[in-house]
Chain A
Amino acid sequence: GAGVSQSPSNKVTEKGKDVELRCDPISGHTALYWYRQSLGQGLEFLIYFQGNSAPDKSGLPSDRFSAERTGGSVSTLTIQRTQQEDSAVYLCASSLGAVLGTEAFFGQGTRLTVV
């Protein structure tokens, strides 16, 4: 079946505008993760959803960032009042569960550029 799908693949926005990034995980995967990667840097954890449990938001850098996951499937990451430092590739991953040796599958990412 299809892998993790992210949209849009590229987004250019003006500073101060809000953006929404979408992630369609693999069907049946209960765990969903958001990361971001600035140019030339490593992956920074943002937020994690596991089933119906409360999400782990410990990685969100500020209250301008929020995410939701509707119906245990599609997730949307929202960045309000974007700043230039928000420019990065935003990566979504999903896995069957968060235990044992489960493999996480990553999407291709959304490249966000704030001008």
Chain B
Amino acid sequence: DAKTTQPNSMESNEEEPVHLPCNHSTISGTDYIHWYRQLPSQGPEYVIHGLTSNVNNRMASLAIAEDRKSSTLILHRATLRDAAVYYCILRDQNNAGNMLTFGGGTRLMVKP
């Protein structure tokens, strides 16, 4: 399976934008890029996903590089509640055994 690389941790100030990078240089043409986050003492929750085009939803934006070898999750205004571990995951739409494979993720710390 194609793997992703993320920084171990990042810091942000409250109410400032946050850009969380993810490298996936071995991504295949059928891989979707998914982002999940895990708040303290909770199960992971879905944030956003995309294939080729940039995506926006109420939680975040996903910017995907033209060659799809990297992507960036954008939180437009970080709040203290956004402090979590953010996971970038590739899911192959053609793979019937399509479990989510979680890497180490990026621990985002938000300072007031």
A interface residues with partner B (beta carbon < 8 Å):
4, 31, 33, 35, 42-43, 45, 48, 50, 53, 56, 59, 91, 93, 98-101, 103-109
Q: How far is it, in angstroms, between the C-alpha of A53 and the C-alpha of B50 when the chains are bound?
A: 27
A104-B102 contact in complex given A91-B43, A109-B43, C-beta closer than 8 Å: no
Instruction: Tell me the nearest residue of chain B to A50, going by C-beta.
Output: B96
Interface residue SS majority, chain B: loop
Residue from B34, B97, B101 within 8 A of A101 (CB atoms)? B34
Instruction: Tell me the nearest residue of chain B to A6, going by C-beta.
Output: B43
For B100, list chain A residues within 8 Å (CB): 33, 45, 93, 104
Interface assignment of B68: CB less than 8 Å from any CB of chain A: no
Interface hub of A31, A101, A107 (most chain B Cβ within 10 A): A101
- Return A94 CB to nearest CB of chain B, in Å: 11
- Return A56 CB to nearest CB of chain B, in Å: 5
Q: Are A99 and B42 in contact (CB under 8 A)?
A: no
B contact residues, total (Cβ < 8 Å): 25
Q: Are B98 and A98 in contact (CB under 8 A)?
A: yes
- Return A33 CB to nearest CB of chain B, in Å: 6
For A107, list chain B residues within 8 Å (CB): 43
Residue from A33, A43, A56, A103 within 8 A of B49 (CB atoms)? A103
A43-B42 contact in complex given A56-B97, A101-B34, C-beta closer than 8 Å: no
For A59, list chain B residues within 8 Å (CB): 99
Q: How far is it, in angstroms, between the C-alpha of A45 and the C-alpha of B46 when the chains are bound?
A: 17
For A91, list chain B residues within 8 Å (CB): 43-44
Interface assignment of B7: CB less than 8 Å from any CB of chain A: no
Q: Are B43 and A103 in contact (CB under 8 A)?
A: no
Q: How far is it, in angstroms, between the C-alpha of A106 and the C-alpha of B102 when the chains are bound?
A: 13
